[in-house]
């Protein structure tokens, strides 16, 4: 059986980005479905772990250094290991991360690195710490090409860091997502955003749009539900206070499991990223859009999709800093739901998108790429 290491320092602990954890677990499941024996690494509860041969090996506490410490522990143990294939979810490059890739390549591994967002430099948070981390990444990423076979990307770049790419689509394990069961009837429009908030989500555009809608005499009741946490939350709350739209915005904090399902059942429209253009993203392969359709939730987005085209359950809005036009959302909602069953619409969306978005299908190009590069000259 072909042996693969899924290398990641993503934190599997419950938090605002649980969807990414589920995606990684779905990718691991997909590799197993395609006949690989899979070991993997991860962070959880303040420690870094190596899941090897169905056992979770604790390698050490990561503390405030988190991924830097994790890469140190992973290098110490994995430099002695041998894998036919390595699939790596990219994190910012540091010295031990670089040395680990070099060591794995030297042992004979064929390596594919997945970069979830590219370009990503504009995602840097403020502060000296992040400036240092991104500066080190810029130095090392341009030296990693001898040790990596392919970059898996959601962009259309033919090369990244001088490494040939394989273009992929984001996917989700539909078996891990239950379709929502909304209540029928009602005239209030409930919108939902589930995310670890960053500037790229652009939810400030929606909040300002709501404020201006009611300033200008809007009469339809629209409520925006925000589930998650992140640095822009204070900005969001300030906008709510400025426009006095407290009854039109609900901050739920982090929700998961049945509590999150209840919020999904209560809402009629999803809100995807409205600020990808702030990071230079023109085509989106977002995980969030896949989660929404797996739940059967129509959604609003400001970025063109890599797989969705002119679907009736998607409202495309301008990719700029303009406030969202709430009247367009009201018309979109009425066109979708007027005289129709919300449950049947949810089931229809899920059924129509499964073939495009299920993780088993979206991981197929990676499996084919490993077959192609296996045994070929570097």
Higher per-residue pLDDT: 116 or 313: 313
Q: Are 68 and 94 in contact (CB under 8 A)?
A: yes
Q: 10 Å Cβ neighbour count for 31?
A: 22
Same domain, 217 and 154: no
Confidence of residue 65 (pLDDT cuts 50, 70, 90): confident
Tell me: pLDDT of 339 over 90.
Answer: no
Confidence of residue 1 (pLDDT cuts 50, 70, 90): confident
According to DSSP, residue 198 is labeled -
Question: For residue 62, what pLDDT is reported?
Answer: 95
With H, G, I as helix, E, B as strand and everything else as coil, classify residue 9: coil
Same domain, 210 and 191: yes
According to DSSP, residue 121 is labeled G
User: What is the rounded distance in angstroms from the CA atom of residue 255 to the CA atom of residue 124?
Assistant: 26
The tally of domains found in the chain comes to: 2
User: What is the rounded distance in angstroms from the CA atom of residue 193 to the CA atom of residue 1?
Assistant: 42
Range name among 201-205, 211-215, 278-282 with the lowest pLDDT average:
278-282
Tell me: pLDDT of 147 over 90.
Answer: yes
Confidence of residue 15 (pLDDT cuts 50, 70, 90): low
Same domain, 161 and 185: no
Q: Is the dihedral of CA 196, 197, 199, 202 positive or negative?
A: positive
**Can you tell me the mean pLDDT for 52-70?**
94
Helix axes 128-141, 95-106, angle to 10 degrees: 30
- 323 within domain boundaries: yes
- 122 within domain boundaries: yes
| Helices (H), ranges, 39-127 | 67-78, 95-106
User: What is the rounded distance in angstroms from the CA atom of residue 271 to the CA atom of residue 269?
Assistant: 7
Confidence of residue 94 (pLDDT cuts 50, 70, 90): very high
**Can you tell me the mean pLDDT for 128-147?**
95
Question: For residue 5, what pLDDT is reported?
Answer: 98
Q: Are 311 and 332 in contact (CB under 8 A)?
A: no
Question: For residue 155, what pLDDT is reported?
Answer: 86
Question: For residue 218, what pLDDT is reported?
Answer: 97
Range name among 108-112, 126-130, 179-183, 269-273 with the lowest pLDDT average:
126-130
- 160 within domain boundaries: yes
Specify the pairing of strand 283-284 against strand 304-305: parallel
Please give the share of the chain, as a percent, with pLDDT higher than 70.
Answer: 98
Same domain, 279 and 164: no
Same domain, 125 and 251: no
User: What is the rounded distance in angstroms from the CA atom of residue 283 to the CA atom of residue 276?
Assistant: 9
Question: For residue 153, what pLDDT is reported?
Answer: 94
Question: For residue 53, what pLDDT is reported?
Answer: 95
**Can you tell me the mean pLDDT for 197-210?**
96
Same domain, 145 and 188: no
- 101 within domain boundaries: yes
Same domain, 337 and 190: yes
Q: Are 189 and 331 in contact (CB under 8 A)?
A: no
Question: For residue 173, what pLDDT is reported?
Answer: 95
Question: For residue 375, what pLDDT is reported?
Answer: 72
Tell me: pLDDT of 376 over 80.
Answer: no
What average pLDDT does the chain have? 94
Same domain, 133 and 182: no
| Helices (H), ranges, the chain | 18-33, 67-78, 95-106, 128-141, 203-215, 233-243, 257-266, 287-295, 326-337, 342-357, 359-362, 364-373
Same domain, 145 and 185: no
Question: For residue 19, what pLDDT is reported?
Answer: 81
**Range of 42's domain?**
2-168+363-373
- 378 within domain boundaries: no
Domain CATH number, residue 299: 3.40.50.2000
Same domain, 257 and 339: yes
Peptide bond into 370 cis (omega under 30): no
**Can you tell me the mean pLDDT for 186-210?**
95
Confidence of residue 57 (pLDDT cuts 50, 70, 90): very high
- 48 within domain boundaries: yes
Same domain, 147 and 220: no
Tell me: pLDDT of 290 over 70.
Answer: yes
- 140 within domain boundaries: yes
- 63 within domain boundaries: yes
Higher per-residue pLDDT: 122 or 369: 369
Q: What is the pLDDT of residues 75-90, one digit of tens each?
A: 999 998 999 999 999 9
Q: Which token pair is 318?
A: 């301008």
Same domain, 83 and 17: yes
Confidence of residue 378 (pLDDT cuts 50, 70, 90): low
């Amino acid at each position: 059986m072909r042996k693969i290491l899924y290398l990641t320092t993503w934190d599997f602990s419950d938090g605002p980005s649980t969807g990414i954890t589920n995606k990684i677990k779905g990718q691991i499941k997909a590799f197993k479905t395609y006949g690989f024996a899979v070991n993997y690494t991860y962070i959880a509860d303040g420690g870094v772990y190596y899941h090897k041969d169905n056992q979770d090996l604790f390698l050490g506490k990561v503390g405030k250094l988190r991924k830097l410490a994790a890469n140190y522990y992973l290098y110490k143990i994995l430099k002695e290991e041998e894998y036919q294939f390595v699939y790596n979810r990219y994190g910012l490059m540091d010295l031990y991360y670089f040395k680990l890739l070099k060591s794995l390549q030297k042992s004979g591994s064929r390596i594919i690195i997945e970069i979830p967002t590219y370009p990503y430099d504009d995602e840097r948070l403020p502060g000296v710490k992040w400036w240092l981390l991104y500066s080190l990444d810029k130095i090392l990423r341009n030296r990693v090409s001898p040790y990596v076979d392919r970059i898996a990307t959601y962009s259309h770049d033919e090369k990244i860091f001088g490494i040939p790419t394989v273009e992929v689509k984001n996917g989700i394990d539909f078996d891990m997502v239950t379709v929502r069961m909304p209540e029928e009837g009602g005239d209030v429009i409930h919108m939902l955003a589930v995310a670890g908030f960053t500037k790229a989500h652009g939810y400030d555009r929606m909040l300002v749009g709501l404020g201006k809608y009611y300033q200008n005499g809007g009469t339809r009741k629209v409520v925006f539900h925000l589930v998650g946490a992140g640095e822009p939350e204070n900005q969001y709350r300030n906008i709510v206070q400025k426009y006095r739209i407290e009854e039109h915005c609900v901050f739920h904090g982090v929700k998961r499991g049945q509590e999150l399902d209840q919020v999904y059942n209560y809402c009629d429209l999803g809100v995807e990223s409205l600020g990808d253009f702030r990071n230079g993203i023109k085509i989106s392969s977002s995980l969030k859009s896949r989660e929404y359709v797996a739940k059967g939730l129509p959604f609003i987005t400001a970025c063109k999709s890599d797989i969705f085209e002119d679907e009736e359950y998607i409202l495309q809005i301008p990719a700029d800093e303009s406030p969202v036009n709430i009247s367009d959302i009201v018309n979109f909602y009425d066109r979708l739901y007027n005289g129709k069953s919300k449950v049947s619409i949810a089931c229809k969306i899920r059924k129509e998108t499964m073939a495009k978005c299920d993780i088993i299908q979206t991981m197929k190009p990676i499996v084919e790429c490993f077959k192609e590069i296996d045994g070929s000259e570097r």
